[in-house]
Amino acid sequence: AQAASPPAPAWQPLSEALGCRLAAPLRALVAVPGVDVSAMDGYAVAGPGPWRIAGRVLAGGAPYGAAPAPGEAVEVATGAPVPEGAESVLPYELADADGVRVAGDPEPGKHIRRRGEDVAEGAVVLSPGTVVTPVALGLAAALGHDELLVRPRPKVAVVVTGDEVVDRGIPGPGRVRDAIGPFLPGLVAWAGGRVTTTTRLADGPEALFAALDGEADARAPRAAERGRGGARGSVHGRLVDPVSEAGVVVVCGASSRGPADHLRAVVAEIGAEVLVDGVAVRPGHPQLLARLPGGPLLVGLPGNPFAALSASLTLLVPILRALTGGATAHGTSALAGVVRPHPHDTRLVPVRRSGRGAVPVGHDRPGSLWGAALADALAVVPPGWSGGQVELIELPQGAGQSVQ
């Protein structure tokens, strides 16, 4: 979280601003209502009754031209401007009308919404830092806004590596379906960010170097000059453009020590600054955090899908919360079930909360998301734990963004 520097405020169309935090006070650009309008369907009356029906005004229709004289009534729809000079509105239900004349006993001033009565022009209705909820969008529109100055949602570029990883259908012999690419957009949105691109790379340092060094190239040309020759150029065009826009780059796989695991070597070669080189957590210990030349953060997720989820919650989500000004709320709970702690690392254990405490749901092998899909939280079990309350890390439920 400390490594994250929030993006500069930017004007976003209303539809893009949902879920962002306001970077400036939200002011009313107009008064609501904009003019004195009727709050009821009925007759706007001037002076004492009975009244002669002199005309009609509908919401959105032409305003009534002249001020009604005392003894005159103008038929008005809810939301229609009340003609100047009318003192109150007599709702149809209380009116005795025959099409020409109307009688009744209106309360003076009643059923007229005065200009600015709901919101005065210029009033500050929401303060900076407020999350733009669906309701806030409606309010902003009502107050005349088409765009809002917000902290933009951080853009996250995803790079999925692995010769064996396929992205559709039944995986053939020696192949596995990508299980990380599909969970990242929802997880990132839940934490306040936006996955803008998912790039698939074969194993091998070349493609990864091109993708990440292009990122460096786009922001800090000198870092790239150190690198390889001009052959990279064409690769830049294909891979790098979406990546170079991102504030956070997530690389899935290639994080460990095998012959096809080149992430650390490539990170060193492009001159990235390693901030976190592994975390004492199971699963997910090979995870990595680095700052790429030019500023964006790189999060390396291990290829085992549950390890990737563990690493996402450990490194990626806190970064996104910091970038968006959100907080990460962690509860604590007793553990209602048998859990074996790891001797020297923290374990993250999928659990479901119940009245008895957090119940481990099992199916928690690093290569499988089954347990995490059954769970609503991950229990943080410290090394050597021997009972007692544990911290819980929320798992996203449903499609919504969590607002904390």
Ligand X SMILES: Nc1nc2c(c(=O)[nH]1)N[C@H]1C(S)=C(S)[C@@H](COP(=O)(O)OP(=O)(O)OC[C@H]3O[C@@H](n4cnc5c(N)ncnc54)[C@H](O)[C@@H]3O)O[C@H]1N2
Look at residues 202, 182, 201, 286 and name the one whose alpha carbon lies nearest to residue 240.
201
Distances 252 to 69, 181, 290, 291 between C-alpha atoms, Å: 77, 8, 14, 16
Which of these segments, 106-114, 188-196, 276-284, 321-329, binds ligand MOO (CB under 6 A)?
276-284
Burial class (CB in 10 A: 0-12, 13-18, 19+), 317: buried
Burial class (CB in 10 A: 0-12, 13-18, 19+), 28: buried
Answer with the entry of ligand MOO, ligand X, none that 255 interacts with (C-beta below 5 to 8 A by kind): ligand X
Answer with the entry of ligand MOO, ligand X, none that 178 interacts with (C-beta below 5 to 8 A by kind): ligand X
**Does 284 help bind ligand MOO (rule: CB under 6 A)?**
yes
Burial class (CB in 10 A: 0-12, 13-18, 19+), 259: exposed
- Whole-number Å distance between alpha carbons of 32 and 155: 36
Answer with the entry of ligand X, ligand MOO, none that 305 interacts with (C-beta below 5 to 8 A by kind): ligand X
Which of these segments, 85-93, 139-147, 166-174, 284-292, binds ligand MOO (CB under 6 A)?
284-292
The least CB distance from residue 306 to ligand MOO, in Å, is 7
The least CB distance from residue 373 to ligand MOO, in Å, is 16
Answer with the entry of ligand MOO, ligand X, none that 180 interacts with (C-beta below 5 to 8 A by kind): ligand X
**Does 304 help bind ligand MOO (rule: CB under 6 A)?**
yes
Comparison of 19 and 162: residue with beta carbon closer to ligand MOO: 162
CB atoms < 10 A from the CB of 90, how many? 26
Burial class (CB in 10 A: 0-12, 13-18, 19+), 386: exposed
Q: Which residues of the shown chain bind ligand X in the complex (CB under 6 A)?
A: 160, 162, 164-165, 176, 178-180, 252-258, 261, 283, 285-286, 302-305, 307, 366
Answer with the entry of ligand MOO, ligand X, none that 254 interacts with (C-beta below 5 to 8 A by kind): ligand X
**Does 186 help bind ligand MOO (rule: CB under 6 A)?**
no
**Does 253 help bind ligand MOO (rule: CB under 6 A)?**
no
Query: Of 307, 313, 323, 351, which one interacts with ligand MOO (CB under 6 A)?
Result: 307
The least CB distance from residue 135 to ligand MOO, in Å, is 41
Query: Of 366, 376, 382, 385, which one interacts with ligand MOO (CB under 6 A)?
Result: 366
Using an 8 Å Cβ cutoff, are 175 and 164 in contact? yes
Comparison of 198 and 312: residue with beta carbon closer to ligand MOO: 312
- Whole-number Å distance between alpha carbons of 233 and 107: 78
- Whole-number Å distance between alpha carbons of 62 and 22: 37
**What's 111's DSSP letter?**
T
Segments in 102-183 forming alpha helices (H): 134-142
Comparison of 151 and 282: residue with beta carbon closer to ligand X: 282
Q: Under rule CB under 6 A, how many of the chain's residues touch ligand MOO? A: 9
Q: Which two tokens stand for residue 6?
A: 């929030």
**What's 278's DSSP letter?**
-
**Does 302 help bind ligand MOO (rule: CB under 6 A)?**
yes
Residue with the CB atom nearest ligand MOO in the bound state: 366
The least CB distance from residue 13 to ligand X, in Å, is 33
Residue found under tokens 């996250």: 156
Interacting residue ranges for ligand MOO, rule: CB under 6 A: 282-286, 302, 304, 307, 366
